[in-house]
Structure 1
Amino acid sequence: MRAATAAEMREIDRIAINDYGIPGVVLMENAGVSVVRMLESKWELLAERKFCILAGKGNNGGDGYVIARHLSNQGAKVKVFLLGEKAAVSGDAQINLDIIDKMGIDTIEISNERDWDKVRVAVTFSDCLIDALLGTGFRGEVSGDMARLIDIINAAGKPVVAVDIPSGVGADTGRVCSKAVQASYTVTFGLPKPGLFLYPGAEYTGELTVADIGIPTAVIAGQDIKQNIIMADAVRAVIPRRSPAAHKGMSGRVLVVAGSRGLSGAAAMAAEGALRAGAGLVTLAAPGSLQDVLAMKLTEVMTKPLAEIEAGSINREAVADIIRLSAGNDVLAIGPGVGREEETAAAVRETITTAECPIVIDADALNALAGNTKLLNECAALPVLTPHPGEMARLTGLSTESVNADRIAIARQAAAEWGSIVVVKGASTVVAFPDGEVYINTTGNAGMATGGTGDVLTGIIAGLIAQGLSSHDAAVAGVYIHGLAGDVAAQAGRIGMVATDLLKAVPAAMYGISSY
């Protein structure tokens, strides 16, 4: 499913109105009706229920006036509060404001303290609040009377329906600069907006409905929209299918280069992640001194010793063995727990630019590339990078806050510059490709905020590549499966969940997707 930015949605509206001759007031009518239909699905009978509609001066407010008319026609008791003057309302919104005025629907301009008292009373005695204040064009910070009204909405303790997007949430980024409406439900129009899925905006969205408001499908199909929401159907289409006559050699071979003294767990989880994702054979190459402990941790994974420095991480001499081993495998995953010593980092950089097979790069291997990202363009195959926001900050020279503020733009730019697939992990993981295409994940939960879950993802993506998926499909499917495994594991409780719980849940997650 594609997701449109605010600018893209404006262009879609423009084409529908100017090229297809659909009046804007018709689109506004359909938008308002779609919200009323959602309300009907929740409450069935709307008669006698009390609704308070908080409207702005723009088209979002116009949608609110349509909602007010249809609710009133169904016998609901409706009050509309306009943040601003009626004289400032224009265009299609003015048409609908004039209609509800003629219908006698109580519409109050908020202009003095007495009006604010009326707002508080109406909100207190309403069954539901409708947020029609700010639309997808909002940017910047909420302040003044708008902030005051949002505070009243959020403090009311009533169900809140947001029209198109919760007021205060950035449509493109999910950014909330100061405050935003905490919606129980959001009805968005035409296409979803990225900010409804990206945090913190996703936290304000509530239950999301995407409503068809009559825009011709050809208009939407004709737009080069590069934001996508990862859905189960898309993952099901690429998930590996195994022949009844399959054997381990047919299910893919993964080489994992990981681990150092004190960080053997990261190596073990990445290797087991590849197995749990379905790889037939997994080899873990790690410093020789770790062989005994890894043999205790892992039963199904083969291990190979590598030359190491005194600190217990690989050295430059290990590169030749890694390259030799990688030639007999379908994919190389490198980085989890590998260590940050300079000789180790040099070995990692040499390995990445020398290996001929597809590579998944994570953790300390990413740190080795900080200041050296140009090397990624020397990889034989399109590499997959899996940084968390802190690692992404080190790679780009930005702050972690800057990365999180606009993850799509940062990931997209990095993917293009580095000639790589960039998976920025976290709540609503973002996957970006060099051509500008971006995917936003919808699975996962806060229980996954624990050490080792990223190592599991590295293994899952590598395991999928080994089974024949392109690096593109493996990255998209891998993050969805990883999050879904977290959701399966969370059924036993989110607090106290650990990364190995995800490992155990991966087969069930994949089975659930493929058998649905």
Structure 2
Amino acid sequence: MMPLFSSRAIREADLRASEEYGLAGMVLMENAGAGAYRFLRERFPRARRLVVLAGAGNNGGDGFVLARHALLDGLSCRVFLVADPENYRGDARSNLDALRLLGGDLRCAAACSDAHLLEELSRADVLVDALLGTGSTGAPRGQAARLVALAGTSAVPVFALDLPSGIDADTGAAHEPHVSAVATATFLAPKRGLFIFPGADAAGEVRVIPIGVPPAAVLPRGTDAVLFDAEDVRRFFPFRRRDTHKGRQGTVLVLGGSANYSGAPLLAALGALRSGSGLVVLVVPEAIADRCAAALPEAVLEPVPGTRHGPGTFAVLENWKSRAEVLLAGPGLGRDPETLACVRKLWRTWTTPVVFDADALFALADPSGGIPFRADAVVTPHEGECARLLGLRSTDVAAARLDAVRRLGEALGCAVLKGPHTLVHLPDIPNILGVPGMSDLPAASETRETPTPGTSDVPPMPEISAAAGARRANTLQVPGAPGTTLVIAAGSPGLAVPGSGDVLGGVLAGLLARGLAPGDAAGVACWLHGAAGERLAAERGEEGLLASEIAEALPGVIEEVRHGKTGKRATKEAETPCRLG
């Protein structure tokens, strides 16, 4: 797991580097700008003409260092300043003066018309966004906003320093205007907002640039967000023993199906079987049982009398209660009032781990409240379903995915927020120790981060509604609080097809049945599901994939994980870069 850090942790690390290790800000800025330039040259080897957009703070100073190295390397480099040169201070001013003495081409953006600026930007091979760094908050303003907007209309690829201007370093929220970069050189350590959508999309390819101080020496030991990748899957996946049999592989009950949705429980069952479950029992209405049996003979059928689920469902489930490790409720279930009442009762009374998906989540959006927290449960909403559970709009959730999944997890149990770079919140798992070599170096302060009164590390959102009604509903998750969020480093737009979520629910339930803890099962399932989508997209393209094909790709992905053939998705400067956004 690669730790992802808050902007506050990064600011304190910079301060510690200078105060405790004697590294001057000029040294850190030089290492940052020079390292970013090397990455730029590797990423754009044919670029001959750069335009640097330089902010008034240290991010602008990093841009001046990059421009100086470009100048010394024989490239054409023009720098547009958001402020008068006399207003720059500290290390940024020193690097501005050095660039000017070496003959750097410096222009004040305020003195140029929009037409002139757009012409200059459009003639560049690469635009360097050195406007706003990790320390900035809110939307770009003034000349910075003007340059960001013009860069967006220039059609020239953008290379961002530290993070794209207008992207929140902590949450990934995208303010307007904001930069959409092809690549981002981030300094010292990865920031959360570079890996959480929509920020991850705006960041493009991400590379961590060393700045001359070991991250473990200056960063906090604990982190409340981590990037979950192939190596983590390999560590947690319960690979089969040579002497195994189906009884050791776990039994999953799939509760779902209705007259109009017979395919959803089948896809969930297929996901469970293709990820290694020993036995899958389909608990479906009698009206669709024959259809399900013909489509998937490998599953056991337990018909419920009638055309929908209701009180009669409990008698069928009781037959398997002592033999099944996990109950997956929701795929194709329908929203009949009797069905929803049945599902709510199961949430309160079922004694083995549960996965609630799709229409089962609709049942949890109970206006009367009283839905208790379950430590052995996993809920798997998409943004619209999450919004219903939290009493928000789906656009609110999309704009603040990290905050939303944390609120939901603290209210109900382990929460999966499906979508690009799926998020998994583990409410009962303390902050993860994730910096390699940490034990060999002096520790940074382990004091929990507490926001300044009147401020927050996440965008304000309404209180969780009575829809979730849990005992921890009003607890705002802040960096350093108990609980860890996994950011899943796998996925493809090709996964956005009907039934894809049903397959994921089946994979997750199957892993729970094989003995994984809820958070581990959720992380592994989401990664495998995402990697299967990537594999299919590489073979066939992103358009026109089927959910059943995602399930069919799972065994191949699992075998690749077993043999270590899937590479990590985050890189250090010396490693080959890869796409993260």
TM range (shorter): over 0.9
State the secondary structure of the residue aligned to 1:138: coil
- Alpha-carbon distance between aligned partners in 2 of 1:472 and 1:87, rounded to the nearest angstrom: 53
Tell me which residue corresponds to 2:25. Answer: 24
Listed as ranges, the matches of 1:29-44 within 5 Å are 29-42=30-43
Tell me which residue corresponds to 1:385. Answer: 379
CA deviation after TM superposition for structure 1 residue 213, in Å = 1.5
State the secondary structure of the residue aligned to 2:96: helix
Question: Letter of the aligned partner of 1:440 in structure 2?
Answer: V
Listed as ranges, the matches of 1:393-472 within 5 Å are 393-418=387-412, 420-434=413-427, 435-472=482-519
The Cα offsets for residues 76-121 of structure 1, whole Å up to 9 and x where unpaired, read as 222211011122211221121122122221212222236x565444
Tell me which residue corresponds to 2:345. Answer: 350
Q: Which runs of 5+ in 2 are unaligned?
A: 428-481, 566-581
**Which protein has greater RCO, CA pairs closer than 8 Å, 6+ apart?**
2
Tell me which residue corresponds to 1:506. Answer: 554
- Residues 323 and 142 (structure 1), Cα distance of their counterparts in 2 relative to 1, 3 Å cut: farther
The Cα offsets for residues 338-369 of structure 1, whole Å up to 9 and x where unpaired, read as 12111111111111222221111111111111
- Residues 2 and 220 (structure 1), Cα distance of their counterparts in 2 relative to 1, 3 Å cut: farther
On the 8 A contact 2:17/2:218 being kept in 1, the answer is: no
Tell me which residue corresponds to 1:478. Answer: 525
The Cα offsets for residues 272-308 of structure 1, whole Å up to 9 and x where unpaired, read as 1100111011111112222111112211111101244
- Alpha-carbon distance between aligned partners in 1 of 2:85 and 2:70, rounded to the nearest angstrom: 21
Listed as ranges, the matches of 1:361-376 within 5 Å are 361-371=356-366, 374-376=370-372
- Alpha-carbon distance between aligned partners in 1 of 2:499 and 2:253, rounded to the nearest angstrom: 18
CA deviation after TM superposition for structure 1 residue 462, in Å = 0.7
CA deviation after TM superposition for structure 1 residue 45, in Å = 8.3
Is structure 2 residue 282 aligned with structure 1 residue 289? no
Listed as ranges, the matches of 1:239-318 within 5 Å are 239-308=237-306, 312-318=307-313
- Alpha-carbon distance between aligned partners in 2 of 1:182 and 1:417, rounded to the nearest angstrom: 34
Tell me which residue corresponds to 1:9. Answer: 10
Instruction: Name the stretch that deviates more: 68-77 or 233-242.
Output: 68-77
Instruction: Name the stretch that deviates more: 162-171 or 176-185.
Output: 176-185
CA deviation after TM superposition for structure 1 residue 164, in Å = 0.9
1:145 to 143, 146, 155: 143
- Alpha-carbon distance between aligned partners in 1 of 2:356 and 2:168, rounded to the nearest angstrom: 31
1:325 to 316, 320, 324: 320
Question: Letter of the aligned partner of 2:489 in structure 1?
Answer: T
State the secondary structure of the residue aligned to 1:295: helix
Question: Letter of the aligned partner of 1:54 in structure 2?
Answer: L
- Alpha-carbon distance between aligned partners in 1 of 2:488 and 2:397, rounded to the nearest angstrom: 17
Instruction: Name the stretch that deviates more: 214-223 or 80-89.
Output: 214-223
- Alpha-carbon distance between aligned partners in 1 of 2:22 and 2:317, rounded to the nearest angstrom: 63
- Alpha-carbon distance between aligned partners in 2 of 1:317 and 1:220, rounded to the nearest angstrom: 60
CA deviation after TM superposition for structure 1 residue 182, in Å = 2.4
Instruction: Name the stretch that deviates more: 36-45 or 462-471.
Output: 36-45
1:231 to 229, 232, 252: 229
Question: Letter of the aligned partner of 1:430 in structure 2?
Answer: L
Q: Which runs of 5+ in 1 are unaligned?
A: none
Instruction: Name the stretch that deviates more: 455-464 or 287-296.
Output: 287-296
The Cα offsets for residues 157-210 of structure 1, whole Å up to 9 and x where unpaired, read as 333211011112222222223232221211111222222222222222222111
- Alpha-carbon distance between aligned partners in 2 of 1:12 and 1:319, rounded to the nearest angstrom: 56
- Alpha-carbon distance between aligned partners in 2 of 1:229 and 1:460, rounded to the nearest angstrom: 20
- Alpha-carbon distance between aligned partners in 2 of 1:96 and 1:346, rounded to the nearest angstrom: 67
- Residues 159 and 390 (structure 1), Cα distance of their counterparts in 2 relative to 1, 3 Å cut: closer
Question: Letter of the aligned partner of 2:129 in structure 1?
Answer: D
Question: Letter of the aligned partner of 2:338 in structure 1?
Answer: E
CA deviation after TM superposition for structure 1 residue 375, in Å = 2.8
- Alpha-carbon distance between aligned partners in 2 of 1:373 and 1:325, rounded to the nearest angstrom: 29
Tell me which residue corresponds to 1:79. Answer: 78
Question: Letter of the aligned partner of 1:467 in structure 2?
Answer: R
The Cα offsets for residues 241-267 of structure 1, whole Å up to 9 and x where unpaired, read as 111222111211111111111111111
On the 8 A contact 1:277/1:507 being kept in 2, the answer is: yes
- Alpha-carbon distance between aligned partners in 2 of 1:215 and 1:307, rounded to the nearest angstrom: 67
CA deviation after TM superposition for structure 1 residue 326, in Å = 2.7
State the secondary structure of the residue aligned to 2:184: strand
Is structure 2 residue 171 aligned with structure 1 residue 176? no
On the 8 A contact 2:52/2:79 being kept in 1, the answer is: yes
The Cα offsets for residues 458-505 of structure 1, whole Å up to 9 and x where unpaired, read as 000011112222211110011010111111222212221121121111
State the secondary structure of the residue aligned to 1:53: strand
Provide the aligned length of Structure 1 versus Structure 2: 507
- Alpha-carbon distance between aligned partners in 1 of 2:100 and 2:280, rounded to the nearest angstrom: 71
- Alpha-carbon distance between aligned partners in 2 of 1:277 and 1:499, rounded to the nearest angstrom: 14
On the 8 A contact 2:16/2:218 being kept in 1, the answer is: no
The Cα offsets for residues 291-329 of structure 1, whole Å up to 9 and x where unpaired, read as 111112211111101244xxx221123224314413211
- Alpha-carbon distance between aligned partners in 1 of 2:199 and 2:500, rounded to the nearest angstrom: 23
Listed as ranges, the matches of 1:478-497 within 5 Å are 478-490=525-537, 491-497=539-545
Is structure 2 residue 63 aligned with structure 1 residue 67? no
- Alpha-carbon distance between aligned partners in 1 of 2:231 and 2:120, rounded to the nearest angstrom: 44
CA deviation after TM superposition for structure 1 residue 220, in Å = 5.0
On the 8 A contact 1:376/1:383 being kept in 2, the answer is: no
- Residues 172 and 506 (structure 1), Cα distance of their counterparts in 2 relative to 1, 3 Å cut: same
- Alpha-carbon distance between aligned partners in 1 of 2:76 and 2:336, rounded to the nearest angstrom: 69
- Alpha-carbon distance between aligned partners in 2 of 1:214 and 1:164, rounded to the nearest angstrom: 15
On the 8 A contact 1:51/1:130 being kept in 2, the answer is: yes
Listed as ranges, the matches of 1:110-259 within 5 Å are 110-113=109-112, 119-220=117-218, 222-259=220-257
Q: Taking structure 2 as the reference length, what is the TM-score of the superposition?
A: 0.83
State the secondary structure of the residue aligned to 2:553: helix
Question: Letter of the aligned partner of 2:4 in structure 1?
Answer: A
- Alpha-carbon distance between aligned partners in 1 of 2:322 and 2:517, rounded to the nearest angstrom: 18
State the secondary structure of the residue aligned to 1:131: strand
State the secondary structure of the residue aligned to 2:80: strand
CA deviation after TM superposition for structure 1 residue 373, in Å = 6.2
- Alpha-carbon distance between aligned partners in 1 of 2:294 and 2:142, rounded to the nearest angstrom: 62
Superposition RMSD on alpha carbons, in Å? 2.0
- Alpha-carbon distance between aligned partners in 2 of 1:258 and 1:484, rounded to the nearest angstrom: 26
Structure with bigger helix share is 1
On the 8 A contact 1:323/1:351 being kept in 2, the answer is: no
